[in-house]
Amino acid sequence: MLANLGAEAWKALGRRPLRTGLAMLGMVVGVASVVVMMAVGQGSQERVQEVMRSLGSNVIVVASGAPTAGGVRQASGSAPTLTLGDLAAIAALPSVTAVAPMYYGTAQLVHGAQNWLAPVQGTTPGFFEVRDWPFEAGQSFDEEDLRAGARKAVVGATIVERVFLGEDPVGRTLRIRNVPFVVVGVLARKGRSLSGNDLDDLVIVPYSTARRELYRTGFPGRVWRIMVEADEAAGIAQGEADILMLLRTRHRIAAGAEDDFSVRRQDAVYDNEQEAAGSMRALLATIASVSLLVGGIGIMNIMLVTVTERTREIGLRMAVGARRRDILLQFLYESVVICVAGGVVGLALGVAVAWLVAVRWDMPVIVSLQAGLAAFAASLLAGVVFGLYPARVAARMTPADALRAE
C-alpha cells in the first residue's frame, strides 16, 4: 500500500512539474540553511578547540602597562612596567610551572634572493614549554646562548616555505634586520589563530640577542610581556590570583589603584570565543528555522490549491470505495514527497555552499552525518506538519459535494 501511495504521489506531482519545483524551492533553501548552519557551527567549535589546544588552556599572559588609561591604551613606545625581577619572582611561585619573557616586533628576513616581513620574538627556551610547541627539525637555543647573546634562530613552518622555499633551513644563515642568524630549529606546524593570524609565520631568537641587536628599547632589565604556564594541580585561577597579588606588591600599587600591568588567561579567551560561536550558531539556527517555516507554508498553500483543483478526482475516488484515510494519506504523501525531494536537493546544495565558504573565505566547516540526518528529519517533519492540513481538507469532503464541484 505504501509503495502504491508513493507511486501515485510521484505521478500526481509529475503532472505539474513547474508547480512542484516551485513548492520544493522553499524547502531546498531551508534545508540548505540547516546544513550550512551545522557545518559552520561544528567547524567553528572544532577550530576554537584546536587553537586552544595549540595555545594551551593553562597559559597566562602578563603584559606591561594597564589595559587602559583614561580610555586610551598605553602607547607602544612607553616604558615597559615589567622587569626581569618580576619574571624571576613569578617563576618562583608554587602555582607556576614555567615562564618566558617576550620581546616582539616585525622585521625583514633575507635568505639569498628571498625576503619576507614577519614577526620576530625574543624569548627563552621556556617559551616552547609554555606553548607546548614541539620541534619538526633541529632544536632550541639554550641558556648558554641566552647568556652569550648568540645569533641563533628558530623558525616556523611558514618561514621555511616562504624564505627557504621548503628546503631544510637548519644550519643555514637567515639575516634579520641585516643581522646574520643561524637557524637551529624548525617548529611543528600550528595553523591559524582564532583571529586568522598565521601562527607559523614567526622567528624566535634569544631574548638577550633581540633586546641588544634587534629591538634596542633603551629600557634595560625590562620586558614587554611574560608568558606563564600555570601548574595543573594548583589550577589556572590560583596562578592568576598569585600573579596579581605578587605584582601589585612588587610594584607598590595601593589598594583601589589601577594596575600598571594586565593579566589574561587563555581559558577566558576560549570562553569568549565559545560564546561568540554560540551566538553565531543561534543566529544561523534562527535563519534556518525561518527558511524552513516559509518553505513549509509555501508547500501548504500549494497543496491547498492542488486539493481545490482535484476536487472531482477526490469525489471519484470516494465513489469507487476510497476511504477518508486513503485520501488523507494520498495528499499527505504528496506533501512529504515534495519536502523530502527538496531536502535531498537542499542537502546537496548545502554541502556545496559549505565547501564554497571553506574555500572562498577560509572558514572551518564540518559536514557531518548529523547534518545529513538533521536535514532529512527536518524535511520529513515539514512534509508531515505542513501537509496535514491540506490532506485533512481533502479527506473531509463528501463524494456528492466533490462530484458537483466545478
Show Cβ contacts of residue 169 under 8 Å, excluding neighbours closer than 6 positions.
111, 155, 159, 160, 163, 183, 186
Query: CA–CA separation, 302 vs 247, rounded Å?
Result: 71
Q: Hey, what's the cell of 320?
A: 469507487
Q: Hey, what's the cell of 170?
A: 637548519
State whether 153 and 204 are in the same domain: yes
Decide: helix, strand or coil at residue 99: strand
State whether 285 and 395 are in the same domain: yes
Query: CA–CA separation, 324 vs 394, rounded Å?
Result: 8
Query: CA–CA separation, 132 vs 154, rounded Å?
Result: 15
Q: Count the domains in the chain.
A: 2
Given 233, 259, 285, the domain boundary residue is 259
Strand-pair partners of 177: none
pLDDT at 4: 59
Query: CA–CA separation, 368 vs 18, rounded Å?
Result: 32
With the CA atoms of 279, 284, 285 and 290 taken in that order, what torsion angle do they form, in degrees rounded to the nearest 10? 130
In a domain, 60, yes or no: no
Closest-CA residue to 259 (of 66, 64, 61): 66
Query: Residues 386, 387, 392, CA angle at the centre, nearest 5°?
Result: 120
Closest-CA residue to 342 (of 42, 33, 41): 33
State whether 175 and 281 are in the same domain: no
In a domain, 162, yes or no: yes
Query: CA–CA separation, 215 vs 105, rounded Å?
Result: 8
pLDDT at 75: 47
With the CA atoms of 176, 179, 184 and 190 taken in that order, what torsion angle do they form, in degrees rounded to the nearest 10? -10
Residue 39 domain boundaries: 2-52+271-404
Q: What is the mean pLDDT of each run of 10 residues along the chain (406 residues)?
A: 57 70 84 85 76 73 71 55 92 93 92 95 92 92 94 97 95 96 96 80 95 78 89 86 94 90 80 73 80 86 87 86 87 87 90 88 80 82 90 88 69
State whether 93 and 228 are in the same domain: yes
Closest-CA residue to 258 (of 120, 74, 397): 74
State whether 220 and 86 are in the same domain: yes
Closest-CA residue to 223 (of 241, 240, 206, 211): 211
State whether 301 and 254 are in the same domain: no
In a domain, 31, yes or no: yes
State whether 188 and 97 are in the same domain: yes
State whether 184 and 278 are in the same domain: no
State whether 70 and 206 are in the same domain: yes
3-state secondary structure labels for all residues of 311-354 = HHHHHHHHHCCCCHHHHHHHHHHHHHHHHHHHHHHHHHHHHHHH
Query: CA–CA separation, 336 vs 34, rounded Å?
Result: 18
State whether 79 and 147 are in the same domain: yes
State whether 279 and 315 are in the same domain: yes
In a domain, 197, yes or no: yes
State whether 118 and 201 are in the same domain: yes
